[in-house]
């Protein structure tokens, strides 16, 4: 009986070990040790550059990296490491490799040079496809980019290059390359589910002949695309057109008429929200800055008492500071400082974000002492509340204040 129990325990242990062994096996040592192991085994290092707050990072860690097919491929071909870019060794590696998007998935040779890169969350098949490209020098992003810059415009090559920059989430290059591909062939060639990504990557502007062709075929597009993809294809083009129109038109009536006309062409489920947003663009373009500010504050005051109201004001603060015309208005900035001070004095609902706003506003006014004081209070209170004090928005603010 004892022997039987021992055998059962051993079998159970092997079963559990098999279950937990599935997926990518990440090293637990230093990055230097990973490079040394890669050199010894003649492999590349695969490094998952993640942060604790990144949604796609969590998706990869929970749903993709644990898959058996992913683990089988990566464990065989790479030395795998995970690095939090905001903690420990990850901070220096973040600076070394200039990581700005998360997750960034780097394939690094034994000398520490990045030979290939992927960006963002992706299904297992795309991750493995990207890993295979990393093992083929002819398919690495650096090689493809050099060939493109040298003038290679072979259609098969352009498709390969488009897929590579798509895996990098390089939207600007995607648009350029996709337009070249369509110009070399035809728009109609890609009006199918499998290759529609070529059209969506191109991002044809409203009013272009390609956009008009897509609009004429919108019923067919609805059948071959996902709802989000369909809405984005047309919605983003229409909104970009209306944003520009809001800056150039002579009256709000003209703007509303154009918005309604576009709505008839392509119905907008958020028409009233769109009109409100465009109205604010019109006010700034026409230097009606106090009108912009008064309406924004009135709108924020109407939501007082609602959970998260402080974030409405925080967004206004950011809009003021990133819009040159508004940031130059001393009366607007000074008035908003008073609002931020009121929030900062509210220990229950506003002390954290109120001090964040004050730190940004005083930074804008180049008052280092007040900016640093507000920032220090934010750090203390945010830490007590379990907030993320290593988020890039926080660390960048600290660096900017220190430089004053």
CA distances in angstroms from 316 to 272, 276, 297, 385, listed in the order given: 19, 14, 8, 23
pLDDT of residue 308: 83
Tell me how far apart the alpha carbons of residues 136 and 83 are, in angstroms, rounded to a whole number: 25
Tell me how far apart the alpha carbons of residues 346 and 354 are, in angstroms, rounded to a whole number: 8
Tell me how far apart the alpha carbons of residues 14 and 258 are, in angstroms, rounded to a whole number: 68
Tell me how far apart the alpha carbons of residues 194 and 185 are, in angstroms, rounded to a whole number: 16
Domain boundaries along the sequence of the chain: 20-135, 205-286, 288-402
Question: For the structural domain made of 20-135, what CATH number should be given?
Answer: 3.40.30.10
Q: Please state, as a whole number, how many other Cβ atoms lie within 10 Å of the Cβ of residue 41.
A: 12
Q: Which residues contact 260 (CB under 8 A, 6 or more apart)?
A: none
pLDDT of residue 21: 53
Tell me how far apart the alpha carbons of residues 359 and 272 are, in angstroms, rounded to a whole number: 34
Find tokens 């600007």 and name the residue: 172
Q: What is the largest CA-CA distance in the chain?
A: 92
Tell me how far apart the alpha carbons of residues 183 and 71 are, in angstroms, rounded to a whole number: 40
Active site residues: 54, 57
Give every residue of the chain whose pLDDT is below 70, as ranges: 1-21
Yes or no: say if 35 and 42 are a contact pair by the CB < 8 Å rule. Answer: no
Q: Please state, as a whole number, how many other Cβ atoms lie within 10 Å of the Cβ of residue 159.
A: 15
pLDDT of residue 306: 83
Which of 222, 219, 244, 240 has the alpha carbon at shortest distance from 231? 222
CA distances in angstroms from 319 to 78, 284, 356, listed in the order given: 45, 11, 14
């Amino acid at each position: 009986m004892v022997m039987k129990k021992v055998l059962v325990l051993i079998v159970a242990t092997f079963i559990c070990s098999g279950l937990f062994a599935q997926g990518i096996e990440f090293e637990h040592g230093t990055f230097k040790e990973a490079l040394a192991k890669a050199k010894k085994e003649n492999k590349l290092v695969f490094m998952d550059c993640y942060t604790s707050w990144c949604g796609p990072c969590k998706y990869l860690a929970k749903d993709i990296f644990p898959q058996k097919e992913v683990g089988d491929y990566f464990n065989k071909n790479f030395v795998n490491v995970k690095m939090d870019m905001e903690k420990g060794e990850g901070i220096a590696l973040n600076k070394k490799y200039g990581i700005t998007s998360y997750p960034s998935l780097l394939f690094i040779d034994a000398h520490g040079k990045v030979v290939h890169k992927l960006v963002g969350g992706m299904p297992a098949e795309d991750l493995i496809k990207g890993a295979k490209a990393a093992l083929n020098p002819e398919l690495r992003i650096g090689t493809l980019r050099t060939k493109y810059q040298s003038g290679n415009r072979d259609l098969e090559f352009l498709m390969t290059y488009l897929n590579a920059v798509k895996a990098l989430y390089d939207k600007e290059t995607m648009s350029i390359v996709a337009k070249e591909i369509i110009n070399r062939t035809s728009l109609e060639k890609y009006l199918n589910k499998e290759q529609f990504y070529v059209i969506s990557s191109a991002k044809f502007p409203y009013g272009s002949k390609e956009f008009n062709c897509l609009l004429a075929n919108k019923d067919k597009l609805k059948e071959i695309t996902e709802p989000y993809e369909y809405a984005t294809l047309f919605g983003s083009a229409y909104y970009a057109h209306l944003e520009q129109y809001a800056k150039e038109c002579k009256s709000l009536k003209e703007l509303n008429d154009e918005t309604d006309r576009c709505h008839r062409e392509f119905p907008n489920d958020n028409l009233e929200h769109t009109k409100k947003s465009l109205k604010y663009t019109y006010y700034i373009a026409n230097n009606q800055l106090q009108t912009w500010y008064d309406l924004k504050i009135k709108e924020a005051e109407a939501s007082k008492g609602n959970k998260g109201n402080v974030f409405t004001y925080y967004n206004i603060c950011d809009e003021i500071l990133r819009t040159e015309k508004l940031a130059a208005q001393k009366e607007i900035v000074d008035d908003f400082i008073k609002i931020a001070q009121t929030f900062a004095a509210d220990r229950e609902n506003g002390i954290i974000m109120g001090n964040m706003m004050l730190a940004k506003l005083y930074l804008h006014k180049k008052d280092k002492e007040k900016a640093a004081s507000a920032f220090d209070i934010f750090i203390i209170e945010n830490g007590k509340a379990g907030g993320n004090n290593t988020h890039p928005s926080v660390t960048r603010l600290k660096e900017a204040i220190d430089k004053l």
